[in-house]
Homo-oligomer: A and B are copies of this chain.
Amino acid sequence: MNAPMSIQSCGNCGLSSMCLPLALTQPEMTQLDGIIKKSAPYRRGESIFRQGDAFTSIYAVRAGMVKTTVVNALGEEQITGFYFPGELLGLNGLHENVYAGTAIALETVSLCEIPFVKLDELSALLPELRRQLMRQMSQEIADEQNMMLVLAKTSAEEKLGNFLIRLSLRFKRLGFSATQFRLTMSRVDIGNYLGLAVETVSRTLTKLQQRGVIKVAGKEVTILDMDGLSGLNRNVDEPAKLVVVG
């Protein structure tokens, strides 16, 4: 009944720290303050940038959750990520000076905007900022490679299990409960992201609940058996077979 609460965090995120764990001196921070702009809040469904737009800025999420998508020539859309407070949007835009995807607010979202021109100047002046930016890009590359593994290899159960665990870790990092949280995104979004039909997402969540691994009530999820969730595995019954044989 309450307005849905967006993920508020970044309490430690002054503008000057760019939502990043940066160790800067006071003059450096002052320097950043003049450049990083706090954006007006975006509402649910609004786009922050669109695929093909001229690349102008990188954004750091301050509050709320954002999804990013890419569209191919056939018009098929794929969700490429969900972004939490403290994470960076637009890192795929430096390449051709055009955003390679679209970013859409899943709830009320506020951002820091870092104009790229300025960022380039600053990179030269603030080595720690440059390093942090590269680390974040590196992290994104690693994350996406792991996502490729999930998409290519796993069953519906494994995909959902992996998805919930990764959400859990990120809520935890933000200081929220790792075992109980709200799915900001719709089932359709989850399905799109994981390469599953909505119906399969629904069925699989039900199945996991029946098995006592999680509890689902609408958007509210509770993880009851973290090991069970992370151990999801095509061959769980193989050890049992061995017992029988013996």
Interface, chain A (partner B; CB < 8 A): 68, 70, 72-74, 76, 78, 80-81, 91-95, 100-101, 120, 123-124, 127, 130-131, 133-142, 144-149, 151-154, 192-195, 230, 233
CB of A141 within 8 A of CB of B142, answer no
A-B CB proximity, top 5 nearest: A152-B195, A78-B149, A94-B138, A100-B142, A95-B138
For the A-B complex with A72-B153, A81-B145, A140-B141 known, give 13 more contacts whose Cβ atoms are closer than 8 Å. A70-B145, A70-B149, A73-B230, A78-B149, A91-B137, A91-B141, A92-B141, A94-B138, A130-B130, A137-B141, A144-B147, A151-B151, A152-B194
CB of A144 within 8 A of CB of B146, answer no
Distance, CA A73 to CA B162, complexed state (A)? 11
User: Can you name the residue of chain B whose Cβ is closest to the Cβ of A74?
Assistant: B233
Best-buried of A123, A137, A153 by chain B (most CB within 10 Å) = A137
Distance, CA A93 to CA B136, complexed state (A)? 11
CB of A80 within 8 A of CB of B145, answer yes
List of B residues within 8 angstroms of A147 by Cβ: 144, 148
Distance, CA A142 to CA B144, complexed state (A)? 10
CB of A142 within 8 A of CB of B95, answer yes
Q: Which of B72, B139, B146, B154 contacts A70 (CB 8 A)?
A: B146
User: Can you name the residue of chain B whose Cβ is closest to the Cβ of A233?
Assistant: B74
Q: In the complex, what's the smallest C-beta–C-beta distance from A134 to chain B, in angstroms?
A: 5
List of B residues within 8 angstroms of A134 by Cβ: 94, 133-134, 137
Q: Known contacts A100-B142, A134-B134: does B120 contact A151 (CB below 8 Å)?
A: no
